Structure 1
């Protein structure tokens, strides 16, 4: 994928962002050492952004679609109140075992519930109440639109949907792959949707924030 931000500026932004906890740093190192898809993991800047959004929203109920090894879930859980809940969805038992091992070592891990299986099934089984305050979408790119349509009715008015990788390495300008075309179509869907106010940020590989009206 193409470089979105000048690498020197990217390092500057990284160095001027609140550093993660020692446990998150250990999780990052473990992931990059042991997982060939380690670049899927959010880093310091996006993790801090997610944590800040949860705090600003005073969120109590968060849904994450795409656990991977758990960095983003732990980042967000740190900003939840003691009785808050984060449900994180993934279909891969191997990466979720890693995530669970780190959740169990965190004071915030008790706020996190892993839902193993198809995320669409998990979303459809969620109770109508209480509604979701924030949803983070970071899984199968070809199903972004389906995830969005399923979660939006379950998000409270004023609640937030956050979608990762919405620049897809710059490919959205001229999509050549199935993933690129799916992300570009998702971006157009959100842009045309009168149910939300939205902004696309050039953070990492693109992060879109859609606030439900």
Structure 2
């Protein structure tokens, strides 16, 4: 079988469905499934973290033995609950989102899972919160992990702050960095409503690829996961 034919098989919806039904959904916590189901009827519910990408994130959190984390962009809380389930009972998550209404969609599931005590939800734009954290020198390199799924045009601004807050050897993951695969398409082939965020994604991807402070892996899972390990 040729390499091109292999690639075409690996990019099919049927294969994604197979992975979800064989390896992801059977192991998905019921409380996570509750949030995923709630997203189906919630406006813009497709913005929730892809379950297969979430499964990868859970393994990385556990391999890292993460205890202190930051989440920029919470939405209905799928990734937030997943993180809370993956860190120790005395772990803490600073979760920032200006939309408390969306957060409250997943809050019953978070409470049902018994992990609300791990979460410090801050209803705010993220940059002021990150700046406030950086005002305290004890926060420098004091976090193990961060997950970013928020306004794409600020990804680099978030990165410049998070790279100081995350410890050497810690991880920052950025979601949606392939933006539906449009980053690989010519400009004229991209639908109008997707062009602006495509440009933001392209600019961020180029900048992060040149950032010597991190080691990176762009995983074509979900809508694109860029995994950054702080090197120094």
Instruction: Return the match for 2:40 from 32, 47, 60.
Output: 32
SS in 2 for 1:69: coil
Structure 1: 5+ residue runs without aligned partners? none
Q: Give the match for residue 102 of structure 1.
A: 109
Q: Check whether the contact 1:142–1:179 (CA below 8 A) recurs between aligned residues.
A: yes
Q: CA deviation at 1:17?
A: 2.3
TM-score (norm 2): 0.85
Per-residue deviation, residues 109-160 of structure 1 (Å, max 9, x unmatched): 2111111111011111114435111110100011111111111111100011
**Distance apart, 1:12 and its partner CA:** 1.7
Equivalences for residues 49-128 of structure 1 within 5 A: 49-126=56-133, 127-128=136-137
Q: Which residue of 2 aligns with 1:141?
A: 152
CA apart distance, 1:97? 1.9
TM-score computed with the length of structure 1 as normaliser: 0.93
1:63 CA displacement: 0.5
Shifted more, 140-149 versus 39-48: the winner is 39-48
Poorly superposed stretches of 4+, deviation over 4 Å: none
1:182 aligns with 2:200: yes
Question: Which residue in 1 is equivalent to 2:7?
Answer: none
1:22 aligns to 2:55 (yes or no): no
Corresponding residue for residue 5 of structure 2: none
Q: For 1:162, which of 148, 162, 173 is the aligned residue?
A: 173
From the two aligned structures, give the one with the greater helix fraction.
Answer: 2
- Over the aligned positions, Cα root-mean-square deviation in angstroms equals 1.5
Shift, 1:195, TM fit: 0.4
C-alpha contact (below 8 Å) 2:34/2:109 kept by paired residues: no
Greater relative contact order (CA < 8 Å, ≥ 6 in sequence): 1
Structure 2: stretches of 5+ with no match in the other structure: 1-9
Residue deviations 1:156-181, cap 9 Å, x none?
00011101011101111235511111
Of 80-89 and 168-177, more deviation after overlay is shown by 168-177
User: Which whole-Å deviations, capped at 9, do the CAs of 1:38-74 have from their partners, x for residues lacking one?
Assistant: 1100132122111111111000111111100001011
**Secondary structure of 1:135's partner?**
strand
Aligned residues: 209
Asked whether the 8 Å contact 1:63–1:87 carries over to 2, the reply is: yes
SS of the aligned residue for 1:147 comes to: helix
1:175-199: CA deviations, max 9, x gaps? 5511111111101111000101101
